Structure 1
């Protein structure tokens, strides 16, 4: 797609999934003003689903209130020529998954100190979001619901940022069943999410713990040939102790992950 969306000129496709496409785009303004953004565009078949669109926009409006250095900022959201979109901060750097993949291709493991630093920054962003109050000063109860190495971006300056707050809730709240909607994500879901129970901040803490374990150990706590197999393992099995997979892991880190 090359047609501009509102005031945004699409430069190149960054990623595409079952729900949306993400483009690098340029926002043009007066007096030669230009700004690079990431533009997430809902796919056409979902743009016709009013329930999904309403939930998507409602969650995006809530997420736009988040203002933290470790959360990707939302600049704009709306509709142009039938295209529903979110304009977000452009992060000049890869996802944490891509960082780990590059290390693996070099035959290396990510340094534990680097992993802990990145995950700690993501945890700071999540804690801020979990504590975000409403107009009466009460926590809104915002939960990301989709923490994974794909949704933690690492800027070239080393800053880690969480992306896609609220998007998972919109996808899960739509009345339509989407084939493969959970593909690749089950491994990071706590039992209560797999059961379809109400979620709170503990779901994000669980998922971030899985990310930390995976990045340090070089494998996920649970691995299976299918989502069904993974679900069964998460529900019934304890992960292998981290010390059996990464002998150089500090005792304190091993204790935290084994206890979690």
Structure 2
């Protein structure tokens, strides 16, 4: 693991939160006048990508794209800078846990699962509606809607994160030969095949996530990676016997193979979802906050002087 400077631009790095294929993320502190202090997240390119013009361009475009997005269900991007030869992006710090970690501890129940899906649909609606300065649609597709990229705060907020692999049609996509951006188990069939993507691709991923929220498993998982990929390409959903009967049409509408036959907008998804939510007990931020508290009990952080820097923590899953 590389040693980054403890001070990166105006931010003091506290500890490493995790890493992915392209970048690492750190908890950091931002300071201001009269003792102002705020926890933020700083994202930097992995060491092996620093100085690589292709990866640095992708990282810069991520920052620029994220800065255009402002929605309560999206992790905010607030700064793009370069210090010590390292590009960094400043993101909102969400005090809570990612949905993948929470699901490893148990399911939320149907009402909360539908609430989370509703919030994610709102996030995707904002992403897909993004325009340039002249009001022209940018055609952004997130491409990586997975539980690992869904953050749940201790207050019960749902936020979609990680626009590092989002693709705008006005930008040139950079993909190494043979590599599919995204997480294969949640990809749409057209993304798995390397085809043209539309918002319908993100709703396939959302349908996969919802299926996992409801059942604890993904709908196309096989014994091996290749088997899973083949199943995703074919999108043979099966009977959905372990899903409540009235929820099956929504999942089928998201998880059909052909994108033109699939739910393709937040409005369409929420129209199908609304009566399913009304038929069940109310669930919202308060109920979600109680679930995260049960799944991940709060451990108070010891108060440390502002000048103290914590040691790097273990990295999250790749």
**Class of the TM-score when normalised by the shorter of the 2 chains:** 0.7 to 0.9
- TM norm structure 1: 0.88
Partner of 1:199: 197
Q: Residue 34 and residue 166 in structure 1: after superposition, are their counterparts in 2 closer, same or farther (change >3 A)?
A: same
Runs of 5+ in structure 2 lacking a partner? 255-318
Q: Which 10-residue stretch deviates more, 66-75 or 47-56? A: 47-56
Higher RCO structure (Cα 8 Å, ≥6 apart):
2
Q: Is the contact between residue 241 and residue 258 of structure 1 (CA under 8 Å) also seen in structure 2?
A: no
- C-alpha distance after superposition, 1:26-50 (max 9, x if no partner): 0122332221101111112112210
Q: 1:257 aligns with which of 251, 257, 282?
A: 251
Give secondary structure in 1 for the equivalent of 2:7.
coil
Where do 4+ consecutive residues of structure 1 move more than 3 Å?
Answer: 166-170, 172-179
1:33-48 to structure 2, matched below 5 A, reads 33-48=36-51
Shift of 1:245: 1.4
Shift of 1:174: 4.0
Shift of 1:138: 2.4
Question: Aligned equivalents of 2:178 and 2:88: distance in 1?
Answer: 20
2:10 matched to 1:7? yes
Partner of 2:33: 30
Q: Residue 177 and residue 21 in structure 1: after superposition, are their counterparts in 2 closer, same or farther (change >3 A)?
A: farther
Partner of 1:94: 97
Question: Aligned equivalents of 1:169 and 1:46: distance in 2?
Answer: 19
Partner of 1:224: 222
Q: Residue 110 and residue 84 in structure 1: after superposition, are their counterparts in 2 closer, same or farther (change >3 A)?
A: same
Shift of 1:176: 4.7
Question: Aligned equivalents of 2:178 and 2:78: distance in 1?
Answer: 28
- TM norm structure 2: 0.72
Q: Residue 44 and residue 168 in structure 1: after superposition, are their counterparts in 2 closer, same or farther (change >3 A)?
A: farther
What's the RMSD between the two structures over aligned residues?
A: 2.2
Shift of 1:205: 0.9
Give secondary structure in 1 for the equivalent of 2:55.
helix
Q: Which 10-residue stretch deviates more, 26-35 or 7-16? A: 26-35
Question: Aligned equivalents of 2:116 and 2:70: distance in 1?
Answer: 18
Question: Aligned equivalents of 2:31 and 2:100: distance in 1?
Answer: 32
1:60-79 to structure 2, matched below 5 A, reads 60-79=63-82
Q: Which 10-residue stretch deviates more, 158-167 or 83-92? A: 158-167
Give secondary structure in 1 for the equivalent of 2:105.
helix
Q: Is the contact between residue 38 and residue 90 of structure 1 (CA under 8 Å) also seen in structure 2?
A: yes
Question: Aligned equivalents of 1:139 and 1:176: distance in 2?
Answer: 26
Partner of 1:20: 23
Q: Report how many aligned residue pairs link the two structures.
A: 248
Question: Aligned equivalents of 2:155 and 2:200: distance in 1?
Answer: 29
Partner of 2:302: none
